[in-house]
Amino acid sequence: MARRVGSATVGLGEAARRNTGRPDRGRLSSRDVPTAFEPAQRVNLRNVPDDEADDVRAMLDARGIPFYETRPSLWGVSAGGIWVTDDAAYAEARQAMDDYQRQRRDRARAEYAAARRAGTADTFMTLLRADPVRVVMSVLGILLVLVLVALPVVLLRR
């Protein structure tokens, strides 16, 4: 039997309906189709450095929180993620993640403060000396965007 959900037609076989034990209500929900397991939540891996992702995996393993990982897509549409598979363990995983992020933030701030005191922190001038072409091109790009944003206002005043 096929039922319409939004603009898509979704088929739900008799075996799946029998396994759910739910009467035909004319609509589908995530509980209507049985699955082997359903993940609770995930940690998005977009723009996450490898060392941080490794730390999160180690933290979850050390606490015995069950998880699995999905890899990024070939074209960068999805970034991949770390999924917690047990709903009961999600609160513990969230608390552990909050603690880890707080520690990582404090460590990064301390490292930056130490680099500033030592005079080795990146500043605008050190970036300009190290890669002048990149800095000049970035400034020109910013100016171009500002001109393009202001151009309609200037043209509409006439």
Condensed to tens digits (0 to 9), the pLDDT of residues 100-153 reads 999 999 999 999 999 999 988 888 899 999 999 999 999 999 999 999 999 999
Domain of residue 77 covers 37-118
Check residue 13 and give its pLDDT: 36
Confidence of residue 87 (pLDDT cuts 50, 70, 90): confident
**What is the pTM assigned to this prediction?**
0.57
Q: Which pLDDT value is given to residue 12?
A: 33
The Cα–Cα gap between 26 and 29 comes to 10
Helix spans in the chain (H): 14-20, 50-63, 87-118, 124-130, 132-157
Q: Are residues 48 and 6 in the same domain?
A: no
Asked whether the beta carbons of 100 and 60 are under 8 A apart, the reply is no
Q: Are residues 90 and 135 in the same domain?
A: no
d(CA 144, CA 138): 10
Per the model's pLDDT, the better-predicted residue between 47 and 8 turns out to be 47
Based on the structure, what is the number of domains in the chain? 3
pLDDT at 60 over 50: yes
**pLDDT(32) > 50:** no
Residue 56 shares a structural domain with residue 111:
yes
Please report how many Cα atoms fall inside a 13 Å half-sphere around the Cα of residue 11, on the Cβ side.
3
In a shared domain, residues 46 and 26: no
Encoded tokens for 114: 């130490």
User: Do 41 and 114 fall within a single domain?
Assistant: yes
Same domain, 28 and 67: no
Q: Are residues 30 and 43 in the same domain?
A: no
pLDDT (0 to 100) of residue 42: 65
Match 């005079």 to its residue by tokens: 119
On the question of pLDDT at 38 being above 50, the answer is: no
* Pair 19, 43 in one domain: no
